[in-house]
Amino acid sequence: MARGTQLSVMMENRPGQLAKLGATLARAKVNIEAISVIDSSEVGVVRLVTSANAKARAALKKAGMTVVQQPVLVAKLANEPGALGAAARKLAAAKVNIEFVYGSAAGAGKLSTIVIGVSDIARAAKVKL
């Protein structure tokens, strides 16, 4: 399974913040490959994997956003019933705990991008999906 880097962006939970993030990445010509937004009453955390993380991180920081990097697994899974379950069983068999998952679904017959946060990235990267 491929290792990747996730960017986490902390933002105020108010109108226009996700639009600002999207516009910043568009100006930098960076595509979002997978995204998740987790909110609380005051702050939101946007987790994303992009086509060019270093470029994205620089653009977001220049726009005044707080950005943190974290290693993750990035898997391409078939967009069909059972694909995520099969991947999760393989990680469990390798004694790897899944801490979070998010992704970007593709159309039928295509591969979806799934981002997986795990307890042991070195062990998880050896698992064949």
CATH number of the domain to which 32 belongs: 3.30.2130.10
Whether 51 and 96 share a structural domain: no
Per-residue pLDDT band at 20 (split at 50, 70, 90): very high
Per-residue pLDDT band at 34 (split at 50, 70, 90): very high
| Bridge pairing between strands 66-78 and 43-50 | unpaired
Q: Provide the residue range defining the domain that includes 61.
A: 2-70
Whether 53 and 9 share a structural domain: yes
Q: Are 18 and 32 in contact (CB under 8 A)?
A: no
Tell me, what CATH number does 119's domain have?
Answer: 3.30.70.260
- For the record, the structure tokens of 67 come out as 């950005």
Mean pLDDT of 83-104: 95
Contacts of 75 (CB under 8 A, 6+ apart): 1, 2, 87, 113, 114, 116, 129
Whether 22 and 65 share a structural domain: yes
Number of domains making up the chain:
2
Whether 24 and 48 share a structural domain: yes
Torsion, Cα of 44, 47, 48, 49 (10° steps): 160
Mean pLDDT of 48-62: 96
Whether 20 and 33 share a structural domain: yes
Whether 65 and 90 share a structural domain: no
Whether the CA torsion 47, 49, 53, 56 is positive or negative: it is negative
Whether 12 and 65 share a structural domain: yes
Whether 11 and 51 share a structural domain: yes
Whether 32 and 52 share a structural domain: yes
Whether 77 and 39 share a structural domain: no
**Whether the predicted pLDDT of 108 surpasses 80:** no
Nearest to 73 by CA among 118, 31, 13, 25: 118
Whether 23 and 83 share a structural domain: no
Whether 49 and 87 share a structural domain: no
- Across the chain, mean pLDDT equals 93
Mean pLDDT of 3-27: 95
